[in-house]
Chain A
Amino acid sequence: MKIVVPLNQVPDLVEDLEIADSGKELDFEVLKMKLNEFDDHALEEALQIKESSGGEVTAVAVDGPEVDKVLFTALAKGADKAVKITGANPHADNHTQARVLAGAVGQLGADLVLVGVQSAGDRDGQLGPLLAAYLNWPGVCVVSGLKPEGGKLTFHKEYAGGLMAEFEVDLPAVMGVQAARATPRYAPVSKVRQVQTTAKIESLAAAAAGDVPAASVEKMEPPVKGAGAKMLKSAADIIQVLKEKGVV
Chain B
Amino acid sequence: MFERTMARRPKEKRADFVEKDNVIIHGVDISGHWNRMHSPREITSYDLSHLEQVTAVPGAESMGWCYQCAKCIGVCPVDNVGNYGPRKLFRLLQTGYDLINSPELWECTTCANCLRVCPKQVDMIKIMPALRAKAVMDGTAPNELQDMFKNASEYGNPMGESPRKRFRWTKDLPEDVAVKDLSKTPEEVDVLWFVGDYYAFHARGNDAAKAMARVFNRLGVNFGTLGNEEWTDGDSQRLAGEPGLFEMMAEHNIEQFSKQTFGKIVTSGPHALNALKNEYPRLGGQYNVEHYTQFLNHHLADLKKLLKNPFPHKVTFHDPCYLGRHNGEYDAPRALLGAVPGLKLNEMYRCKEQGYCCGGGGGGMWLDGFMADHVNMRLSENRVREAVSTGAEVLAVCCPYEVSRFEDAVKSSGNEGKLRVMDIIEILDQSMGG
Kindly identify, within residues 225 to 258 of chain B, every residue whose CB is under 8 Å from any CB belonging to chain A.
242-245, 247-248
| B376 lies within 8 A of chain A by Cβ | no
Q: Can you list, as one digit per residue, whether each of B357-401 has a CB less than 8 Å from chain A (1) or not (0)? A: 000000000000000000000000000000000000000000000
In the bound complex, do residue A186 and residue B137 qualify as a contact, i.e. CB atoms below 8 Å apart? no
| B88 lies within 8 A of chain A by Cβ | no
Interface hit among A96-104, A189-197, A222-230: A189-197
Tell me the minimal C-beta distance from A68 to chain B in angstroms: 15
In the bound complex, do residue A15 and residue B137 qualify as a contact, i.e. CB atoms below 8 Å apart? no
In the bound complex, do residue B136 and residue A188 qualify as a contact, i.e. CB atoms below 8 Å apart? yes
Tell me the minimal C-beta distance from A199 to chain B in angstroms: 16
- A189–B154 Cα distance when bound, in Å, is 11
Known: A14-B160, A15-B164. Contact between A188 and B244, CB under 8 A? yes
Size of interface on B: residues with Cβ below 8 Å to A:
23
| A185 lies within 8 A of chain B by Cβ | yes
Which residues of chain B come closer than 8 Å to A24, judged between CB atoms? none
Which residues of chain B come closer than 8 Å to A14, judged between CB atoms? 155, 160-162
In the bound complex, do residue A191 and residue B160 qualify as a contact, i.e. CB atoms below 8 Å apart? no
Which residues of chain B come closer than 8 Å to A12, judged between CB atoms? 154
Tell me the minimal C-beta distance from A219 to chain B in angstroms: 26
Known: A14-B161, A15-B162. Contact between A190 and B154, CB under 8 A? no
Tell me the minimal C-beta distance from A79 to chain B in angstroms: 14
Q: Can you list, as one digit per residue, whether each of A106-139 has a CB less than 8 Å from chain B (1) or not (0)? A: 0000000000000000000000000000000000
B242 interface neighbour in A32, A183, A190, Cβ under 8 Å:
A190
| A152 lies within 8 A of chain B by Cβ | no
Tell me the minimal C-beta distance from B16 to chain A in angstroms: 48
B149 interface neighbour in A15, A34, A188, Cβ under 8 Å:
A188
Interface size class of A (residues with CB under 8 A): 10 to 19
Tell me the minimal C-beta distance from B42 to chain A in angstroms: 37
Q: Can you list, as one digit per residue, whether each of A25-60 has a CB less than 8 Å from chain B (1) or not (0)? A: 000000010100000000000000000000000000
| B217 lies within 8 A of chain A by Cβ | no
Known: A14-B155, A183-B143. Contact between A189 and B242, CB under 8 A? yes
B244 interface neighbour in A32, A34, A185, A192, Cβ under 8 Å:
A192
Closest to B149 in A: A186
Which residues of chain A come closer than 8 Å to B160, judged between CB atoms? 14
Tell me the minimal C-beta distance from A207 to chain B in angstroms: 32
| B141 lies within 8 A of chain A by Cβ | yes
| B150 lies within 8 A of chain A by Cβ | yes
Tell me the minimal C-beta distance from A235 to chain B in angstroms: 26
| B146 lies within 8 A of chain A by Cβ | yes
| B327 lies within 8 A of chain A by Cβ | no
Q: Report A's interface with B, CB cutoff 8 A.
A: 12, 14-15, 32, 34, 183, 185-186, 188-193
Smallest CB-CB A-B distances: 5 pairs = A190-B244, A189-B244, A186-B146, A189-B245, A14-B162
What are 7 A-B contacts with C-beta separation under 8 Å? Answer: A12-B154, A186-B147, A186-B149, A188-B149, A189-B244, A189-B245, A192-B244
